A and B are shown apart, each in its own frame.
Chain A
Amino acid sequence: MKTVFKRTPTLKDCVTHYCPGCGHGIAHRLVAEVIDELGIHDRTIGIAPVGCAVLAYDYLDVDMVEVAHGRPPAVATGMKRTNPDKIIFSYQGDGDLASIGAAEILHAGHRGEQITVIFINNAVYGMTGGQMAPTTMIDQVTATTPRGRVGAEQGYPLQVSELLATLPGTIYIERCSVHDPAHIRKSKKALRHAFELQVDGAQGMSLVEMLSPCPVYWRMPPAKAMEWIENEMTKVFPLGRLKG
């Protein structure tokens, strides 16, 4: 018998705390696969966010740190500047990156920090119980938009990747999705490219945004959540390369 699919070494052999149908697990696996394929396990340092992925170090078998909400890009700056030979990545949710950490991601990109950012856009604050995120869709019902998000009151879904793409300091930005196998494969290619740029010493920040389901706080079954990404989210967050 031939093994066609197995656990990649950097992904630990354990049960995660993620809800059924959550996208974080898929994203973790892709990150682990890319680290192993590039052979950079021994010199990679990861940064876990405050958010549902706060325990990412329990699943990814590389040196990792867990830091204050929104600050991963600043922490990554401190790490990379003092350790240019190491591969530094931050893994951040949309609340972490686009709201409380908006200044940190903007300025890390602005300075052209040589780091790789994995940005999980699930259009809500998962960890705190499904409140509105900057990326929440118009009319989307969340714990803090009980009547659905109203643009004139709560602002419109924030397209951070587009914003970051305008900065000279960012060299590669792509928006992907994990809602079906074809898109998962594309996400992996993008992640691989983002890491490769850092490995090659390219001057600037690389970022991969992944549209990712949070069935629990989207109030739908996992399969429906995947459809919602395909049919609704990608309209506001179009997939594809934004830069590089």
Chain B
Amino acid sequence: MCGNEALAEAAIIAGCDAYFGYPITPQNEVPAYMARRMPQEGRVFVQSESELAAISMVFGASATGKRAMTSSSSPGISLMQEGISYLAGAELPAVVVNVMRGGPGLGNIAPSQADYFQATRGGGHGDYRTIVFGPSSVQELVDCMILAFDLADQYLMPVMVLADGILGQMMEPVVLEKKTSRELPAKDWALTGAKDRDQNIVRSLWLKEGALEAHNNKLQARYEQIQRDEVLCEQYEVDDAEIVVVAYGIAARIVRGAVTRARAEGIKVGWIRPITLWPFPTEEINKAADEFRIFLNVEMSSGQMVEDVKLAVAGKTPVAFHGRPGGGVPTVDEILDKIRQLTLRAKIPV
């Protein structure tokens, strides 16, 4: 099963009631799969007229308490920012998958990680966050999708899953099952018709003086809780490492190969791999920076996550960067070279 199909099936396992989407490469397998599978399950599939409409359809289904998702790739995700901001403002759950491609503009259809800023900073207008996953294998993509639906319902907000063209097309064996499930709050806010209860209203407009500020403070308190409770990251041989490589998604897969070879050469190198990009594993990286080590951030962009790594390291040790923008994919050799160069510096603390 390719990553795109696996993520679609994962959504079905997670109980996704409705999929809305507009075609764009490299994620076209998702709507094609959903068009076939959702009706089989008695659920909803609609090909929308645009990504603006797709995210608005998600908004509508979600407002009635249903689990809804959409998927797209970078240019389409830009159009969805309106709806994502409204979902965040109206406290509605939703799952949005971005199978990233090269940008800016129409860019290309090569794999990319250039939408990190857009995803982790909110992306649309207003003070809000989305939970963002950056899985690095098809299995993890599946697990993140299933968790994404639960987190969206628990925290009442849009959750994004960032993949890229490689992960979307990659074939890997997967176990498709819901391993965990959370205790989730009842959706007593949902629009189901005001039967034997008062009217429910779903809105993002707060006109009374101070009301919007209070609403924002409520959202921020929730985001703080998420930062405390929901960080996921993986560490490998960091304890004795002189160099720590930080990478996520498909870049982390390549990094793993480079680190294994560097270790074989006797270089003390490990890695930290954020699985949630927001909340970011700030504490984990900050702790690792207590010892003098050089951090190397590897990304398929001109340098976006590296800003979060620098914030986490908080000036305690140097942070180097290696990135490939515009759909470029770093090779194991490239990263290994970079690690070798940094070894020389790591020997002489400055």
A-side residues, CB < 8 A to B, are: 41-45, 47, 54-55, 57, 61-68, 71, 74-79, 81-83, 86, 103-104, 106-107, 110-111
Q: Quick one: which of A45, A57, A77, A86 contacts B46, CB cutoff 8 A?
A: A77
Asked, given contacts A42-B195, A64-B191, whether A78 binds B59 with beta carbons under 8 Å apart, the answer is: yes
Query: Which residues of chain B have C-beta atoms less than 8 A from A44's C-beta?
Result: 193
Query: Which residues of chain A have C-beta atoms less than 8 A from B193's C-beta?
Result: 41-45, 62-63, 86
Q: Quick one: which of B52, B64, B199 contacts A71, CB cutoff 8 A?
A: B52
Q: Once the chains bind, are A61 and B60 in contact (CB under 8 Å)? A: no
Q: Once the chains bind, are A62 and B194 in contact (CB under 8 Å)? A: yes
B63 within 8 Å of A (CB atoms)? yes
CA distance A86 to B64 in the complex (A): 10
In the complex, what residue of chain A is closest to B201 when comparing beta carbons? A57
Give the dominant DSSP class at A's interface: helix
In the complex, what residue of chain B is closest to A78 when comparing beta carbons? B60
Query: Which residues of chain A have C-beta atoms less than 8 A from B46's C-beta?
Result: 77-78, 81, 111
CA distance A68 to B17 in the complex (A): 22
Q: Quick one: which of A41, A45, A54, A74 contacts B191, CB cutoff 8 A?
A: A45
8 Å CB contacts to A: which residues of B51-74? Answer: 52-54, 56-64, 66, 68
Asked, given contacts A45-B191, A63-B194, whether A74 binds B203 with beta carbons under 8 Å apart, the answer is: no
Query: Which residues of chain A have C-beta atoms less than 8 A from B63's C-beta?
Result: 65, 75, 78-79
B-side residues, CB < 8 A to A, are: 17-18, 20, 44, 46, 48-50, 52-54, 56-64, 66, 68, 82-83, 86, 90, 191-196, 199-205
Q: Once the chains bind, are B56 and A71 in contact (CB under 8 Å)? A: yes
Give the dominant DSSP class at B's interface: mixed
In the complex, what residue of chain B is closest to A80 when comparing beta carbons? B60
* Residue of A62, A67, A76 most packed against chain B (CB within 10 A): A67
Expressed in whole angstroms, the minimum distance between the Cβ of A209 and any Cβ of chain B is 22
Query: Which residues of chain B have C-beta atoms less than 8 A from A111's C-beta?
Result: 46
Q: Quick one: which of B52, B60, B83, B191 contacts A77, CB cutoff 8 A?
A: B60
Q: Once the chains bind, are A81 and B18 in contact (CB under 8 Å)? A: yes
In the complex, what residue of chain A is closest to B204 when comparing beta carbons? A66
Query: Which residues of chain A have C-beta atoms less than 8 A from B20's C-beta?
Result: 78
Q: Once the chains bind, are A82 and B56 in contact (CB under 8 Å)? A: no
Q: Once the chains bind, are B56 and A78 in contact (CB under 8 Å)? A: yes
CA distance A47 to B64 in the complex (A): 12
Asked, given contacts A68-B86, A74-B53, A107-B49, whether A79 binds B64 with beta carbons under 8 Å apart, the answer is: yes
Given A77-B46, A81-B46, A107-B48, 19 additional A-B pairs, CB 8 A: A43-B195, A45-B193, A62-B194, A62-B199, A67-B59, A68-B82, A71-B53, A71-B59, A74-B56, A78-B20, A78-B59, A78-B62, A79-B64, A82-B68, A103-B49, A103-B50, A103-B53, A104-B49, A107-B53
Q: Once the chains bind, are A77 and B194 in contact (CB under 8 Å)? A: no
Asked, given contacts A63-B200, A76-B60, whether A104 binds B53 with beta carbons under 8 Å apart, the answer is: yes
Expressed in whole angstroms, the minimum distance between the Cβ of B222 and any Cβ of chain A is 21
Q: Once the chains bind, are B194 and A74 in contact (CB under 8 Å)? A: no
Expressed in whole angstroms, the minimum distance between the Cβ of B198 and any Cβ of chain A is 8
Query: Which residues of chain A have C-beta atoms less than 8 A from B191's C-beta?
Result: 45, 63-65, 79
In the complex, what residue of chain A is closest to B190 when comparing beta carbons? A63
Q: Once the chains bind, are B49 and A82 in contact (CB under 8 Å)? A: no
CA distance A42 to B196 in the complex (A): 8
In the complex, what residue of chain A is closest to B49 when comparing beta carbons? A107
8 example contacts (A-B, Cβ-Cβ < 8 A) are as follows: A63-B193, A66-B202, A71-B56, A74-B56, A78-B64, A81-B46, A103-B50, A107-B53
Query: Which residues of chain A have C-beta atoms less than 8 A from B56's C-beta?
Result: 67-68, 71, 74-75, 78, 104
Q: Once the chains bind, are A74 and B200 in contact (CB under 8 Å)? A: no
In the complex, what residue of chain B is closest to A58 when comparing beta carbons? B201
Q: Once the chains bind, are A63 and B68 in contact (CB under 8 Å)? A: no
CA distance A103 to B196 in the complex (A): 37
Asked, given contacts A74-B48, A82-B17, A82-B44, whether A57 binds B59 with beta carbons under 8 Å apart, the answer is: no
In the complex, what residue of chain B is closest to A12 when comparing beta carbons? B199
In the complex, what residue of chain B is closest to A43 when comparing beta carbons? B193
Q: Once the chains bind, are B195 and A78 in contact (CB under 8 Å)? A: no
Expressed in whole angstroms, the minimum distance between the Cβ of A38 and any Cβ of chain B is 13
Query: Which residues of chain B have C-beta atoms less than 8 A from A43's C-beta?
Result: 193, 195
Query: Which residues of chain A have C-beta atoms less than 8 A from B68's C-beta?
Result: 78, 82
Query: Which residues of chain B have C-beta atoms less than 8 A from A74's C-beta?
Result: 48, 52-54, 56-57, 60
Query: Which residues of chain B have C-beta atoms less than 8 A from A104's C-beta?
Result: 49, 52-53, 56
CA distance A106 to B193 in the complex (A): 27
Query: Which residues of chain A have C-beta atoms less than 8 A from B64's C-beta?
Result: 45, 78-79, 82-83, 86
* Residue of B56, B58, B68 most packed against chain A (CB within 10 A): B56
Query: Which residues of chain A have C-beta atoms less than 8 A from B59's C-beta?
Result: 67-68, 71, 75, 78
Query: Which residues of chain A have C-beta atoms less than 8 A from B17's C-beta?
Result: 82
Expressed in whole angstroms, the minimum distance between the Cβ of A217 and any Cβ of chain B is 21
CA distance A98 to B45 in the complex (A): 26
Q: Once the chains bind, are B194 and A42 in contact (CB under 8 Å)? A: yes
Query: Which residues of chain A have C-beta atoms less than 8 A from B83's C-beta?
Result: 68, 71
CA distance A193 to B123 in the complex (A): 43
Expressed in whole angstroms, the minimum distance between the Cβ of A128 and any Cβ of chain B is 15
* Residue of B20, B83, B194 most packed against chain A (CB within 10 A): B194
